[in-house]
């Protein structure tokens, strides 16, 4: 079968579930990341069971990154699986914010709270070569993935801790930067979410109780009381529907709190110091 024929098959099998542009994108990611090919319509590939199985999983809304086993973030591929959030482009903007704000300082100590694939600490370590970088997550399984990514991408230079942010943590260490993309989606927001997120991504990574949607930000502030240096900064991704509530919370403890918009114009990040 040629790649042009495979594209035809993708289109006919997936047109019930995805629009034309999405199918084109899925197809390109599939041939590049799963088959390690670039698109040449006349290139001949073996038809194999994997392809059929993969297309039927796409029909069931399985994320393409779970089929290829990897996701591109900032400037690297990261291994992903059912225990880790697929890194999002919004989080790349959080990295960019730190990169531009701290350009002049290479020897920072940084900790990422709720690290998932480890995309944040690994990318920061690549940008700040001399930084001392740590990360925590409650999920053993996510930490296995994060450690594999650290080994593959930067030869394992991150200190990982299995910790519950909702409990008291004491690492006996202070940091220049605390960064987090914590769970922040309220259960009530589920109805506007795609099936491929709801059915396949870990709910532990995504959801918080409707009645206490800022719980993780409260715990990040508690963590910062013990672990942030006097001149240190906190950077978090936030729920775009709760920017002012989140800002008010941080303003109870910090004098310089800024909401920052993402590329789509939504308040998606906060910095505090």
Ligand X SMILES: C[S@@+](CC[C@H](N)C(=O)[O-])C[C@H]1O[C@@H](n2cnc3c(N)ncnc32)[C@H](O)[C@@H]1O
Site for ligand X, residues 161 to 190, rule: CB under 6 A: 164-166, 181-183
Show the tokens assigned to 23. 């199918």
119 binds ligand X (CB under 6 A): yes
Site for ligand X, residues 193 to 212, rule: CB under 6 A: 204-205
Smaller CB separation from ligand X, 3 or 205: 205
Residue 84 CB, shortest distance to ligand X, in Å, is: 6
Determine which residue in the list 14, 58, 98, 120 makes contact with ligand X, applying CB under 6 A.
120
Determine which residue in the list 51, 74, 114, 133 makes contact with ligand X, applying CB under 6 A.
114
Residue 141 CB, shortest distance to ligand X, in Å, is: 9
Residue 201 CB, shortest distance to ligand X, in Å, is: 9
Residue ranges binding ligand X (CB under 6 A): 85, 87, 91, 114-117, 119-120, 136-139, 142, 164-166, 181-183, 204-205
């Amino acid at each position: 079968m040629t790649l042009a024929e495979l594209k035809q098959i993708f289109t006919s099998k997936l047109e019930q579930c995805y629009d034309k542009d999405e199918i084109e994108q899925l197809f390109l990611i599939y041939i590049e990341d799963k088959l390690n090919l670039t698109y040449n319509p006349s290139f001949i590939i073996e038809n194999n069971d994997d392809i059929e199985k993969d297309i039927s999983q796409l029909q069931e809304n399985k994320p393409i990154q779970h089929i290829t086993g990897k996701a591109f973030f900032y400037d690297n591929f990261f291994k992903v699986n059912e225990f880790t959030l697929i890194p999002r482009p919004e989080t790349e903007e959080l990295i960019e914010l730190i990169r531009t704000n701290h350009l002049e300082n290479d020897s920072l100590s940084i900790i990422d709270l709720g690290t998932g694939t480890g995309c944040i600490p690994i990318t920061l370590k690549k940008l700040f070569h001399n930084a001392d970088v740590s990360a925590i997550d409650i999920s053993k399984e996510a930490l296995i993935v994060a450690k594999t990514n650290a080994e593959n991408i930067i030869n394992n230079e991150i200190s990982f801790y299995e910790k519950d942010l909702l409990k008291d943590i004491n690492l006996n260490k202070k940091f220049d930067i605390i960064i987090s993309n914590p769970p922040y989606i309220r259960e009530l927001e589920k109805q506007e979410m795609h099936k491929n997120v709801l059915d396949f991504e870990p709910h532990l990574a995504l959801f918080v109780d409707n009645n206490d949607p800022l719980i993780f930000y409260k715990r990040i502030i508690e963590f910062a009381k013990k672990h942030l240096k006097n001149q240190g900064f906190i950077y978090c991704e936030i729920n775009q529907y709760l920017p002012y509530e989140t800002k008010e919370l941080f303003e109870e403890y910090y004098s310089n709190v800024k909401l920052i918009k993402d590329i789509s114009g939504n308040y998606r990040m906060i910095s505090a110091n």
